[in-house]
Structure 1
Amino acid sequence: MNYKEEFYGFYREPFNKENMTSENTIIVFDTNSLLNVFRFTPEASKEYFEIIQSIQDKIYIPYLVALEFHFHKSEALLLNEVNVTKFKNNFSKNWNKVKSEAAKTLFSGLSYRNDKDNKELITYLSDLLNSKELDIENKLVEKISSISKNQTNIFNALVEIIQSKTGERYEQNTIINIEKEGDERYKNEIPPGFNDANKKLSRSYNGIKYQQKFGDLIIWKDIIIKAKEDKIKNVIFVTSDGKRDSKTDLNHKVCVGKDGNGKEKYQIIGPRIELIEEMKNETGADFYLMDELEFMKHFSQEEVPSRVFKSISDTLLDFAKIVSTSLNNDDVVKPFVRASSQSVNNRPSVIKRRKVTDISELLKIVENDYEISDVIEEYLKTELPNMDFENKYGDLGWGEFEYVTITEVEIEKYTFEDDFYEIKCIASIDVNIDFNIVTKNPFYEEPEDPEFEYESSEIDGTFEISFIYDLDYDTFDDIEIIDFYI
């Protein structure tokens, strides 16, 4: 028995790109590896995209990857669109703080004859900065806009590349057959995709419907068909999905000890043997799995700066850690977790389990949040006296607020802002309102007689409210009432 033939997956030659051509090789990107073009820092994004450009003749994008990319691209691009507005709001809110901190830093070590000298310097600095405020703001807005514009240009260029490299839309019968096979594969933990077996959601688009738990398997079958049809000899799949410890259906991992907290540490050896063997048996091709960093190392024409590698490495590790806490979320791309603390700004990383990882959890928080209740109460205190009770009480009756109870919340629309730190929502909030209808006492004559009469009442109403929820700090901002009706 020839071991190298019988146990091919264990004796595969190390990766060598020298003999890889556009005729015998395809490089496949998963959804996240495409979206990471917008998640990396601007410098890292540029380097990563230029390497993608350089190998575009070898690229193949499975149809489902392209579909999921379009489901989530608006979330990524939205970060760029809101940056200018977000900055302007922050600038106006924090300008005085900037002046104060500048004065403390610049003048704290100086000696004066008296406190008057110190105040004079602070006033002078404040006036000087105020005279330059608009110019400073405009220059910073211009810089932020240029970064956002560059990201948009990269997106357009990326689409230009991958749209001509995308596979055909599947027939529904093909999806049904893959899902039937998937049921058996997942029972026996045959990769890829069995880690997603508990996902519940389905997606529909343009006449096809698929269960999201079979997304990885559908993509895998697509790659096999492409490799078989084009007689491909090398299949390279770029994904960082296998980096998290809980993901066991892509990479073969071995335990190499424990960290300082006693948690087991794993080292990735390579793709699961089953994947290597299935690709070889079905198509005759060698299968290689690599994350974005490995891809850049292998295919960059020039040496990539170490700071870029570190930036990307930190981003991928952050993403792996956070996604590992949110495995019950059914989206291929986790919208309620931050991709990286470095993607757009320098806000400190918050690697923790967020209270909100899906919309249902946000509904509960909205329902019980005192800030939103306060906004509703203040609105009712102002508006109830002006509400029309003419049908029952003529033009004499008016409402006096007592109490409001939120009975149901529905998120009608949401978008992501500030590098996935915040989610902007429009919510429909059903309420029950306890109040008094106040009328003039028609028999009021003497001072000892009550001038007004009060009748307890209640009505059901609905508020349409917009707000921004901070995912890391569990706070609400910019709460506004759009409409109210009963």
Structure 2
Amino acid sequence: MKNIFRGFYSASQQELGNLWKDDKTLFVFDANVLLNLYGYALQTRNDFFKILKSIEGQIWIPYHAGLEYQKRRLEVIKNEKSIFSEIDRNLDKVQNVFKSDFEQLALKRRFPKLAENTERLEKEISRSIASYRKSVAHWNSEQPCVRSHDSIRDDLNSLFEGKVGEKPKSQEWLDNLYKEGAERFRNRIPPGFKDASKAKKEEDTHFFYDGLNYERQFGDLIIWKQIIQKSKEKDIASVIFVTDDAKDDWWYKIHSNGNKVIGPLAEIQAEIFGESDISAFHMYSTSMFMKDSESYLSVEVDENSIIDARASHSKPRHKYRADNLNQLRDSQNFIVNEYLKKHESSFGKLSEIMSQNRFPDDLEKFRNLEYMKNHLPTHFDEYKNLSNKASVEAYKYWLDKYNTIFDENNMSTYSDIIRKYENVGSPSEIQRLFDNLDASKNEESDEN
């Protein structure tokens, strides 16, 4: 049965291990795999090239994949470079919260102490942002720009020298493929039918190179046909195709506690098995390719490199980073605004309570502490956790403690203890103050 329906069977772990070790296995790379290299950290790129060098005699790219890489390379570099400008803009927005949103609250007039703490918070955030900008500048300097020397392309040129497929034989061959492709797309025959929308765009639907007219919507189909043609060569027993195209016209996916990628579509495997004599076909994303290379080739790959490649596979890398930055900015703005809304009335009520207290100077010490005078965090998550404790309910425990001191029998004991803690600066020290008070009361009770 398996021999008849080979398209529905994915390679087992043992079979994959054999494929990696077989000299007749051809490793084919899509254009997006090469282009994603420009968005990776240096360690990820180094690990990727280390893997390719270990299988250097078995790697290959279709002509059209190479052409798409060359055509899109500078645009990808520009997009990756632009992320650093976007980082700067988002950091500016965070800092502008203090210059716009906070100033409108008139904290200096309404809550002077809170205004002081806000200024300290602004300084802490500004220092963190300044430090972060330095790291951004470092990574920006590591990132290629459109006019700089492209060391990534140098490495690719060296590795794939003599390992690029032949260009299409003629315009007639391409035109016939376009007719076949139109029919395939109507019947949703993979791969490439998800790109049919590219034909509806008014611009950039096709391009010319070296005397041939290429229609962009059929790019995946051209690559696929070139892979099939290459797989017909006698010295090729199996094909492993590495692509970061995650669309449903390449991969079989099923929803089971989340989307699960099972493997290449049965139609794709059936087609290549039907037109060639290869014994196995498998597909990888870059992250899974790097992960399995560590297992089957004993090549050391940093775990962060696999995570880095996985992020790129899930969505375009510059878009992925921009989304994260926007989420961070929105989260920070939300936390700060919620803090102010939540405590605007609480601080007023607390001030009223404290104004009636018999020990205003000492209560001011607690007030400063609970405003987080000396404990402003450098990260918003910590800030949120602390601010959640700064409600009237949180003060109730300490105010109740103070009420016990008002008893005339405790006045002299309290006066002695409070002098020992003239510079109370943390909650733990405050706790020790009351523990000592309770201990003194217990001693007096024992003596009586």
The TM-score by the shorter chain falls in which range? 0.5 to 0.7
Aligned to 1:218: 222
Could you tell me how far apart the structure 2 residues matched to 1:349 and 1:57 are? 45
Cα distance 1:148–1:196, how it changes in 2: closer, same or farther (>3 A)?
closer
Task: Read off the aligned partner of 2:30 and give its amino acid letter.
Answer: D
**Secondary structure in structure 2 of the residue aligned to 1:229:** coil
Q: How much does 1:340 deviate?
A: 4.4
The answer to whether residue 180 in structure 2 is matched with residue 185 in structure 1 is no
Task: Read off the aligned partner of 1:189 and give its amino acid letter.
Answer: R
The answer to whether residue 54 in structure 2 is matched with residue 54 in structure 1 is yes
**Secondary structure in structure 2 of the residue aligned to 1:67:** helix
Q: Higher relative contact order at CA 8 Å, sep ≥6: structure 1 or structure 2?
A: 2
Could you tell me how far apart the structure 1 residues matched to 2:87 and 2:261 are? 41
Task: Read off the aligned partner of 2:173 and give its amino acid letter.
Answer: T
Could you tell me how far apart the structure 2 residues matched to 1:138 and 1:8 are? 54
Structure 1 unaligned residues grouped into runs of 5+: 101-114, 260-264, 320-337, 352-486
Q: How much does 1:142 deviate?
A: 7.4
The question of whether the paired residues in 2 share the 8 Å contact of 1:236 and 1:288 is answered with yes
Deviations 1:55-84 (A, max 9, x none): 232111111111111111002223576788
Cα distance 1:307–1:33, how it changes in 2: closer, same or farther (>3 A)?
same
Q: How many residues align?
A: 303
The alignment's TM-score, normalised by the length of structure 1, stands at 0.51
Aligned to 1:199: 198
The answer to whether residue 278 in structure 2 is matched with residue 299 in structure 1 is no
Deviations 1:311-366 (A, max 9, x none): 332332234xxxxxxxxxxxxxxxxxx64434999664799xxxxxxxxxxxxxxx
The question of whether the paired residues in 1 share the 8 Å contact of 2:83 and 2:318 is answered with no
Task: Read off the aligned partner of 1:308 and give its amino acid letter.
Answer: S
Aligned to 2:157: 159
Q: How much does 1:5 deviate?
A: 1.9
Cα distance 1:137–1:266, how it changes in 2: closer, same or farther (>3 A)?
closer
Could you tell me how far apart the structure 2 residues matched to 1:55 and 1:345 are? 35
Aligned to 2:138: 143
Aligned to 1:401: none
Larger Rg: 2
Could you tell me how far apart the structure 2 residues matched to 1:218 and 1:58 are? 21
Q: How much does 1:170 deviate?
A: 1.0
- Decide which of 168, 172, 175 is 1:170's aligned counterpart: 168
The question of whether the paired residues in 2 share the 8 Å contact of 1:38 and 1:76 is answered with yes
Aligned to 1:227: 231
Deviations 1:100-156 (A, max 9, x none): 9xxxxxxxxxxxxxx9xx9xx99xx99xx9xxx9xx999869734651269942332
| 1:278-289 alignment, distance < 5 Å | 278-285=271-278, 286-289=280-283
**Secondary structure in structure 1 of the residue aligned to 2:18:** coil
Structure with greater proportional strand content: 1
Aligned to 2:3: 5
**Secondary structure in structure 2 of the residue aligned to 1:240:** coil
**Secondary structure in structure 2 of the residue aligned to 1:173:** helix
Could you tell me how far apart the structure 2 residues matched to 1:22 and 1:343 are? 41
The question of whether the paired residues in 2 share the 8 Å contact of 1:231 and 1:283 is answered with no
Could you tell me how far apart the structure 2 residues matched to 1:159 and 1:345 are? 33
Could you tell me how far apart the structure 1 residues matched to 2:49 and 2:328 are? 25
Task: Read off the aligned partner of 1:185 and give its amino acid letter.
Answer: R
| 1:64-463 alignment, distance < 5 Å | 64-78=64-78, 143-144=138-139, 146-148=141-143, 152-171=150-169, 172-200=171-199, 201-241=205-245, 243-244=246-247, 247=248, 249-256=249-256, 265-285=258-278, 286-300=280-294, 301-319=298-316, 339-342=318-321, 348=327
Structure with greater proportional helix content: 2
Aligned-residue Cα RMSD (Å) equals 4.5
Structure 2 unaligned residues grouped into runs of 5+: 100-112, 200-204, 331-448
The question of whether the paired residues in 2 share the 8 Å contact of 1:192 and 1:250 is answered with yes
Q: Identity rate of aligned residues, in percent?
A: 30
Could you tell me how far apart the structure 2 residues matched to 1:278 and 1:146 are? 46
The question of whether the paired residues in 1 share the 8 Å contact of 2:38 and 2:80 is answered with no
Aligned to 2:429: none
